[in-house]
């Protein structure tokens, strides 16, 4: 293992190089551009033997990825924001066609107004596409989850695409110390992808991406549901292997001081790092608080979440997305899976608005003394 | 010309009687053979050949969406290259809607990147799969459900988009127009296209019995009339060299072509003359 200081996009690019995808169609977009650039450099310098396709749009990036994956090869791409929105239609096709593509995704706000800074509306808007979604808190976790995503996506019982999300700028452009694993270790963790089922081969002609009707459509969709549910244990197994080989431990959720907490903050990505620091500070002031970070948003680890929050009475959901008038997606998911807790939703940090300690103290205060369920932090709300 | 007997598009598909698209594929696959991967855009061809759990395709086939056959083919081509299967023919089929309209960007990208693939646009001059709505390839004067003729309308009011020349502007090594009614000319062009190292584009006239309004037994005849009148010129552009591949000995008046189809039946003498003038200019330009 080599420890180096690098940005999260460099860490992700290192993971991609180590995973050795056969095909990488990619279209640059802020703040994920450097992934396209790092990979281009690897190819230009002979460090990575891959078919790098300089596509003319994100829609074509995902379409080319589906075409490539349909031939049974390891396939990667990366995008963000408007690019992800442009892919929207074909994301569903990728999942329905059971193409185990892995994609890096830098969370960035959605136009309009046009804004290149962070929130998570872009990937949350793809929630129902059938993709697995992992949210990393830093470059190291993004590297580790990228390798894990390939292993899970390509598992013959799963065969679903996976996106590894990191907060744009907040994480993508932050330099941190990253352990870059050795190729030999990665090869042990992630052997070459050998497709088991149908793929495009003139020796064994099959038809992929059929037309169908009501006799078969729903069954195909249900098969995605079954695979998504099954993926929880496959991810757990993959993370066990990961720990055995690389020594680092990951889980579908991260918890901090939840055991005896009365109020638990729940969120995705980098906001939880801020909360974690404040949990200690709040506890010094006598507040019984904890933090739960959801690493795997799809599949949604309901059991683990319920177990972790069983002793709390209140949940403060902090999220960087909104379904207007109805709160954020995570709030709705938690309302579906959690019983007997008071859940209060906080829309926070949209378009890169700073999430300061005082903002999180406001969340705490409004959780202790709630006046409404859906709260916007950092704007003057209209009653 | 030897036509292999083997059919790689199996009978029993759901194409209309007299469907020109099925013929377009059958002939192309006779030339390309089994060592081929086919990509299609959403459209008649895809819907009529792949109703799960059935398929008419005897070669590997993939369909993803309407507007992305060029990009999907790009991914297939490079993935086959990554596996050392560079000898496999990659052929994408798209209708005029999926190629000339909604898929134009995706095809442009594929052509510009120089992928080793053949794109065949089977042009029936409207969105036939959804019930005859006009496309950018609908010719002036044709009545469709979204450019209907009426008391103050002669149908489509814009000339056909010149897709082969848009492809030519990409500087790709091989471009051709063809017609299913001239199978030998078409198959020669398919052969050249698949043997071309790099991108090749064929723009194929595919008369549509349902959308154009003619008897299913007349598909070939209507296609011939389009060429014999000069309405549909047959040419190729090989490494920048333009060549007409078929010259009618004596060009028939375009009215013979127009009167063979219901979509033009509303046109009066004046409109027919407009189309005749257009065709005359085109033939002058091409030396036909």
Look at residue B48 and tell me whether its pLDDT is greater than 80. Answer: yes
Percentage of chain A surpassing pLDDT 70?
A: 100
Please give the span between the terminal C-alpha atoms of chain B, in angstroms, as a whole number: 25
d(CA A332, CA A124) in angstroms, rounded, equals 12
In this predicted structure, what is the pLDDT of residue A1?
A: 66
Q: Which of A63, A93, A202 lies nearest to residue B88, judging by beta carbons?
A: A202
pLDDT at B172 over 80: yes
Q: Which residue is it, tokens 């932090």?
A: A377
Provide, as residue numbers in chain A, all residues whose Cβ is less than 8 Å from the Cβ of B106. 56-57, 59-60, 63
A275 pLDDT above the threshold of 90: yes
Among A25, A97, A207, whose Cβ lies nearest the Cβ of B57?
A207
pLDDT category of residue B2 using cuts at 50, 70 and 90 = confident
Q: Contact B50/A211, CB-based, under 8 Å?
A: yes
A300: pLDDT strictly greater than 70 = yes
Backbone torsions φ then ψ of B24, nearest 5 degrees: -55, -40
> Which pLDDT tens digit goes with each residue over A229-272?
999 999 999 999 999 999 999 999 999 999 999 999 999 999 99
Rounded to whole angstroms, the Cα distance separating B4 from B250 reads 32
Of A31, A241, A40, the closest CA to residue A155 belongs to A241
Beta strands in A82-231 (DSSP E): 102-107, 132-135, 162-167, 175-180, 207-208
Instruction: Assess whether pLDDT exceeds 90 at residue B4.
Output: no
Euclidean distance between CA atoms B267 and A90, whole angstroms: 42
Residues A112-139: tens digit of each pLDDT: 999 999 999 999 999 999 999 999 999 9
Residue A341 has a pLDDT of 98
The sheet with strand B174-179 has its strands ordered as: A207-208, B61-63, B36-40, B89-95, B118-123, B200-205, B174-179, B234-238, B241-246
For A59, nearest residue in chain B (alpha carbons) = B68
Tokens of B201: 């584009």
Among A65, A70, A71, the residue with its CB nearest the CB of B83 is A71
Nearest CB neighbour to A202, from listed B50, B60, B74: B60
* Ramachandran sector of residue A247 (left: φ over 0; alpha: ψ -120 to 50; beta: rest): left
Mean pLDDT of B228-232: 98
Angstrom distance (rounded) from CA A102 to CA A148: 10
Q: ipTM of the assembly?
A: 0.97
Phi/psi of residue B254, nearest 5 degrees: -65, -20
Q: Convert the pLDDT of each residue in A23-72 to its tens digit.
A: 999 999 999 999 999 999 999 999 999 999 999 999 999 999 999 999 99
Report how far residue A377's alpha carbon sits from residue A375's, in angstroms, rounded to the nearest whole number: 6
State CA B192 to chain mean position distance: 16
End-to-end CA distance of chain A: 55
Please give the Cα distance from B104 to A133 (Å, whole number). Answer: 32
Indicate whether A160 pLDDT > 80.
yes
A375 close to A366: Cβ distance less than 8 angstroms: yes
User: Which of A57, A209, A211 has its CB closest to that of B64?
Assistant: A209
Residue A135 to residue A330: CA distance in whole angstroms:
13
Q: Rounded mean pLDDT of chain A?
A: 97
Q: Do the chains contact at B51 and A211, CB–CB below 8 Å?
A: yes
| Average confidence (pLDDT) over B21-34 | 97
State the pLDDT at residue A136.
98
Question: How sure is the predictor about A383, in pLDDT bands with cuts at 50, 70 and 90?
Answer: confident
Task: Tell me what pLDDT residue B71 has.
Answer: 98
Q: Is the pLDDT of residue B1 over 80?
A: no
Mean pLDDT of B182-201: 98
Segment A169-210, tens digit of pLDDT: 999 999 999 999 999 999 999 999 999 988 999 999 999 999
Beta sheet of A76-80, edge-to-edge order:
A76-80, A102-107, A162-167, A132-135, A296-298
CA distance A186 to A230: 24
Taking an 8 Å cut-off on Cβ atoms, the answer to whether B74 and A206 are in contact is no
* Residue of chain A minimizing CA distance to B42: A211
- Nearest chain A residue to B75 by CA distance is A64
* DSSP E strands, chain A: 2-7, 23-26, 51-54, 76-80, 102-107, 132-135, 162-167, 175-180, 207-208, 253-256, 263-267, 289-294, 296-298, 314-319, 342-347, 374-376
Helix, strand or coil for residue A219?
A: helix
> A75 pLDDT exceeds 80?
yes
Residue A382, classified by CB atoms within 10 Å of its CB into exposed (0-12), middle (13-18) or buried (19+), is: exposed
How many pairs of residues across A and B have Cβ atoms under 8 Å apart? Answer: 154
pTM above 0.95, yes or no: yes
Nearest-CA distance B86 → chain A (Å): 12
Asked if residue A161 lies in contact with residue A103, where contact means CB atoms within 8 angstroms, the answer is: yes
d(CA A173, CA A138): 10
With 80 as the cut, is the pLDDT of residue A289 above it? Answer: yes
User: Each residue of A203-235: b (16+ CB within 10 Å) or e?
Assistant: eebbbbbbbeeeeeeeeeeeebeebbeebbebb
Name the residue of chain B whose CA is nearest to A66's CA: B72
Residue in chain A closest to B40 (alpha carbons) equals: A209
- The pair phi, psi for residue B181, each rounded to 5°, is -80, -5
* A255 three-state secondary structure: strand
pLDDT of residue A266: 98
Do B197 and B173 touch, CB atoms closer than 8 A?
Answer: yes
Pairing of strands A253-256, A342-347: unpaired
Strands A296-298 vs A132-135: parallel, antiparallel or unpaired = antiparallel
Tokens (6 digits) for A45: 């310098």
Task: Spell out the alpha helix ranges (H) of A71-138.
Answer: 81-96, 121-124
| Average pLDDT score over residue span A109-113 | 97
**Averaged pLDDT, B95-122:** 98
Please indicate whether, in this complex, the C-beta atoms of B79 and A73 are within 8 angstroms of each other: yes
CA dist A301 and A135 (Å) reads: 13
Kindly tell me the burial class for residue A371, based on how many C-beta atoms sit within 10 Å of its own C-beta (0-12, 13-18, 19 or more). Answer: exposed
- pLDDT the model gives residue A19: 98
Taking a C-beta distance cutoff of 8 angstroms, is the pair B209, B216 a contact? Answer: yes
Q: For residue B112, is pLDDT > 90? A: yes
DSSP state string for A280-304: HHHHHTT--EEEEEESEEES--HHH
Residue A146: Cβ-neighbour burial (10 angstroms; 0-12, 13-18, 19+): buried
């Amino acid at each position: 293992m080599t420890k180096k200081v690098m940005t999260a996009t460099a860490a992700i690019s290192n993971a991609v190089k180590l995973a050795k995808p056969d095909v990488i169609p990619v279209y640059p977009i802020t703040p994920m551009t450097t992934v396209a650039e790092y990979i281009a450099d690897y190819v230009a310098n002979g460090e990575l033997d891959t078919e790098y396709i300089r596509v003319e749009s994100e829609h074509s990036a995902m379409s080319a990825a589906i075409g490539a994956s349909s031939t049974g090869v390891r396939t990667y791409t990366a995008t963000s924001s408007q690019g992800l929105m442009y892919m929207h239609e074909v994301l569903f096709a990728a999942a329905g066609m059971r193409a185990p593509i892995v994609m890096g995704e830098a969370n960035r706000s959605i136009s309009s107004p046009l804004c290149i800074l962070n929130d998570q509306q872009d990937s949350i808007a793809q929630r129902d596409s059938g993709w697995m979604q992992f949210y990393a808190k830093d470059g190291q976790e993004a590297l580790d989850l990228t390798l894990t995503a390939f292993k899970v996506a390509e598992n013959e019982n799963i065969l679903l695409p996976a996106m590894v999300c990191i907060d744009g700028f907040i994480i993508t452009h932050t330099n941190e110390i990253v352990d870059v694993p050795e190729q030999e270790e990665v090869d042990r963790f992630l052997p070459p992808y050998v497709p088991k089922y149908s793929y495009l081969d003139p020796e064994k002609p099959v038809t992929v991406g059929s037309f169908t009707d009501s006799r078969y459509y729903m069954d195909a969709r249900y098969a995605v549901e079954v695979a998504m549910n099954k993926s929880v244990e496959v991810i757990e197994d993959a993370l066990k292997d990961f720990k055995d080989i690389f020594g680092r431990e990951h889980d579908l959720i991260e918890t901090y001081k939840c055991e005896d907490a009365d109020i638990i903050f729940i969120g995705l990505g980098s906001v939880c790092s801020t909360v974690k620091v404040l949990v200690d500070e709040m506890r010094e002031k006598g507040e019984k608080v904890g933090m739960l970070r959801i690493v795997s948003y799809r599949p949604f680890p309901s059991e683990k979440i319920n177990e972790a929050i069983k002793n709390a009475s209140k949940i403060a959901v902090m999220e960087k997305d909104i379904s207007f008038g109805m709160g954020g997606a995570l709030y709705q998911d938690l309302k579906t899976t959690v019983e007997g807790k008071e859940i209060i939703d906080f829309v926070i940090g949209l378009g890169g608005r700073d999430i300061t300690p005082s903002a999180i103290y406001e969340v705490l205060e409004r959780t202790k003394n709630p006046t409404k369920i859906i709260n916007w932090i950092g704007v003057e709300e209209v009653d | 010309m030897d036509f292999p007997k083997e059919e790689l598009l199996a009978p029993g598909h759901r194409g209309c009687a007299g469907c020109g698209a099925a013929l377009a594929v059958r002939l192309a696959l006779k030339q390309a053979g089994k060592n081929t991967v086919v990509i299609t855009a959403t459209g008649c061809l895809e819907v009529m050949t792949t109703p799960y759990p059935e398929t008419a395709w005897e070669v590997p086939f993939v369909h993803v969406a309407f507007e992305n056959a060029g990009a999907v083919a790009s991914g297939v081509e490079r993935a086959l290259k990554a596996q050392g299967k560079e000898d496999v023919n990659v052929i994408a089929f798209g209708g005029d809607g999926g190629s000339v309209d909604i898929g134009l960007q995706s095809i442009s990208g594929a052509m510009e990147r120089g992928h080793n693939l053949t794109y065949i646009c089977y042009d029936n001059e409207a969105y036939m799969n959804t019930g005859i709505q006009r496309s950018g390839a609908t010719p002036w004067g044709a009545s469709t459900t979204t450019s209907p003729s009426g008391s103050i309308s002669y149908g489509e009011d814009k000339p056909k988009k010149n897709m082969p020349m848009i492809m030519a502007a990409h500087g790709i090594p091989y471009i051709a127009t063809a017609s299913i009614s001239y199978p030998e000319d078409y198959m020669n062009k398919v052969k050249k296209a698949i043997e071309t190292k790099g991108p090749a584009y064929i723009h194929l006239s595919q008369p549509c019995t349902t959308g154009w309004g003619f008897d299913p037994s007349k598909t070939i005849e209507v296609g011939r009339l389009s060429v014999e009148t000069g309405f549909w010129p047959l040419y190729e552009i090989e490494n920048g060299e333009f060549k007409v591949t078929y010259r009618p000995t004596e060009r028939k008046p375009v009215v013979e072509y127009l009167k063979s189809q219901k979509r033009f039946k509303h046109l009066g003498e004046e409109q027919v003359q407009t189309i005749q003038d257009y065709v005359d200019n085109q033939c002058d330009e091409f030396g036909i």
